[in-house]
Every structure is written in C-alpha cells, then in structure tokens.
Chains A and B, each alone.
Chain A
Amino acid sequence: NAGVMQNPRHLVRRRGQEARLRCSPMKGHSHVYWYRQLPEEGLKFMVYLQKENIIDESGMPKERFSAEFPKEGPSILRIQQVVRGDSAAYFCASSFALNTEAFFGQGTRLTVV
C-alpha cells in the first residue's frame, strides 16, 4: 500500500509560467489537504478537498492558485503566472475519513527563477 505520492519532487519554473503539482492520496483515502511551507517558515494550510469537492479553501491565495480533486486521478494544485514568492515546499496529506489521521507526502519543492 503505497503512501501519499507527490510529483514532481522538484519543479523549476520561470516567472510567469504555470506550475502543476500532483498528489495521489493513499489507497482508499478520499480527503486531501494541501499545505505550503515557505522558506524559514512553518507549514500553513491551503485547501481541503474531498473527491470532486472543495470543502475549505480559506488558506488559498485569492488569485492565481486553484486546486481540484477529480473523480479519477490525482489531486492537482495549480499555480498560474508564478512569481518568486511562490517558491516553497508544497505538501499534500490524505486521510480516510473526516477526522482520521492524515498522512503526508514527500512534498514538491517549487523554485521560481
């Protein structure tokens, strides 16, 4: 039973490009959470999704960021027109049900040059 899989592990984008980060939850998990860790800062919640639905996006920046978790396939965090300040580690976690333990992926380290 594979853990939470994130890809790519490292992503380099030029300013203005789009970044797509993928997260495949653990088998049987239908709840996905995205967190961001800016350099020298702690982890911050971004968005919580349950298959095909965004449940809580209160931590998402208002512009350029979007997330989806389709019926089939991984969850995608999409950042349009990236800027240097988007450089961070983005972590995905998944859980089986509401309020069960969440398991983390290895993260995607985004560098905007």
Chain B
Amino acid sequence: KNEVEQSPQNLTAQEGEFITINCSYSVGISALHWLQQHPGGGIVSLFMLSSGKKKHGRLIATINIQEKHSSLHITASHPRDSAVYICAVRRAPETSGSRLTFGEGTQLTVNP
C-alpha cells in the first residue's frame, strides 16, 4: 500500500464545476504539498500546508492532521485547470529534510 493515496485517479468535469481531489497518507508528516503538472511541463508548487486551510485565487487546500487527510478544491473550474495534481508529503521527523513522498497524481480534464 502506498504511503500517499490520491482519489480519484482521473476526473473529468465541465467548465464551472466545483472540483475536489482527495489525499490520504499513512505516515507522520511535517508538511503536505499540492503540486500541479501540465503535460510535458514542469512541476509547480500550489500549496504547502501543515495545518488548517489555505486559499489562493480559485484554489483551496485543507488538511486534517488527526485524520491524515487533505483535500484540494477548485472553484469555478476552467479548461486551463486541466493538469495532473499531485499530493506529496514531507515526512516527520524533520531530520529527513525536504524529501517528498508523492501520490500517484490525479489527472483532471475540464471540458468547455
């Protein structure tokens, strides 16, 4: 079983829909990242969370440390949001550095 599990693996939505991507992890962490990867492109860091909730534009990320679960929400989705969204955790203890363990990613397609 992977230490970081994402769901769903694939998600297709219509433009304007509210989207949720989930991430569960089984190890102790010091932080959780949400990353975005476009086809053939680089990786962009969207959020780094250690507790609570963060918002940036139409993106919202939440984390529940007790339940070892995080969600990424996209409001008013747009075709340009189509990408792979990756959840990654930084393990505790913190002596492991910033090394990340990744989920398999969620392929999001937003149709016009």
Contact of B42 among A31, A43, A48, A107 (CB under 8 A): A107
Contact of A99 among B30, B33, B43 (CB under 8 A): B30
A83-110: CB near B (< 8 Å → 1, else 0) gives 0000000010101001111111111010
Judged by DSSP, the binding face of A is strand
Q: Is the CB of B43 within 8 A of A98?
A: no
Q: Is the CB of B99 within 8 A of A33?
A: yes
How many B residues, CB 8 Å from partner? 26
Q: Is the CB of B101 within 8 A of A101?
A: no
CA distance A77 to B77 in the complex (A): 38
CB distance from B89 to the nearest CB of A (A): 12
Q: Is the CB of A95 within 8 A of B98?
A: yes
The listed residue with most A CB atoms (<10 A of its CB), out of B33, B98, B105, is B98
CA distance A105 to B42 in the complex (A): 6
CA distance A45 to B3 in the complex (A): 13
The listed residue with most A CB atoms (<10 A of its CB), out of B42, B100, B103, B105, is B42
